């Protein structure tokens, strides 16, 4: 229905956030069976077998292989085609998580990635997930980049790509929303209920319920209904 002021905007109910878990009961049993039959390398090969498949049975097998590979996983996981994950054994994923087509999740053998309940990750995102926490009910738009490490660039006598890596934790608190094409730099924390605008490059922490945008991202205002402290932005 059009707004009363004549605009063409429409307000409709959210879909993902209000969807209940509807997962066949046998998926966990199938995941347990797959885990018993395959080593880590075998599970990785199975992921490749079902990565691009779109049929109903292939989708069930893809989800089951993921569940068998992950450190932990709640019910209702959705994984689109073309998703790549490195070191899935370091990922803990909650209930009703959605991972869109073509997402690339780069874990590390000694790392940790936590993805909370109800998280929605849009297509074609890239996450350096070696020390990444995404809390419950976070929305992440298509094409978002989350960077979790950087080279020391020292000593200067070496190519930068040969210098040591600094892995810095990235945290996105519950209810936050990261706009399409945004980039989060290593060590960033995005606060509860904060909004990061499309295309923003976040170079410093974002306070709870703040709205930021731009390159580099700057504070615009507090979300409506939140009485923030202007000195904390």
Which residues, in sequence order, are bridge partners of residue 92?
A: 72, 114
Catalytic pick among 16, 87, 151, 221:
151
**Do 203 and 187 touch, CB atoms closer than 8 A?**
no
SS (H, E, C) 94-160: CCCCEECCCCEEECCCCCEEEECCCCEECCCCEEECCEEEECCCCEECCCCEECCEEECCCCCCCCH
16 belongs to the catalytic site: no
- How far apart CA 79 and CA 61 sit, in angstroms, is 11
- β-bridge pairing 98-99 and 120-121: parallel
Catalytic residues: 151
């Amino acid at each position: 229905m059009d707004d009363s002021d004549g605009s063409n905007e429409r307000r409709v109910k959210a879909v993902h956030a209000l969807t209940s878990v509807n997962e066949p009961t046998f998926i966990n049993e199938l995941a347990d069976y797959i885990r018993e039959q395959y080593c880590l390398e075998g599970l990785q090969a199975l992921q490749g077998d079902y990565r691009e498949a779109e049929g109903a049975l292939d989708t069930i097998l893809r989800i089951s292989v993921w569940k068998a590979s992950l450190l932990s996983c709640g019910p209702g996981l959705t994984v689109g085609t073309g998703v790549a994950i490195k070191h899935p054994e370091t990922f803990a994923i909650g209930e009703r998580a959605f991972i869109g087509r073509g997402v690339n999740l780069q874990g590390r053998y000694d790392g940790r990635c936590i993805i909370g309940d109800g998280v929605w990750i849009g297509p074609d995102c890239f996450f350096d997930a070696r020390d990444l926490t995404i809390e419950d009910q976070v929305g992440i738009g298509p094409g978002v980049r989350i960077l979790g490490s950087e080279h020391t660039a020292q000593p200067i006598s070496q190519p930068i790509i040969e210098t040591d890596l600094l892995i810095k934790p990235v945290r996105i608190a519950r209810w936050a929303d990261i706009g399409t094409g945004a980039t989060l730099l290593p060590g960033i924390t995005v606060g509860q209920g904060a909004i990061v605008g499309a295309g923003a490059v976040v170079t410093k922490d974002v306070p709870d319920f703040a709205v930021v945008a731009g390159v580099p991202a700057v504070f615009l205002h507090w979300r409506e209904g939140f009485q923030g402290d202007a000195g904390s932005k």
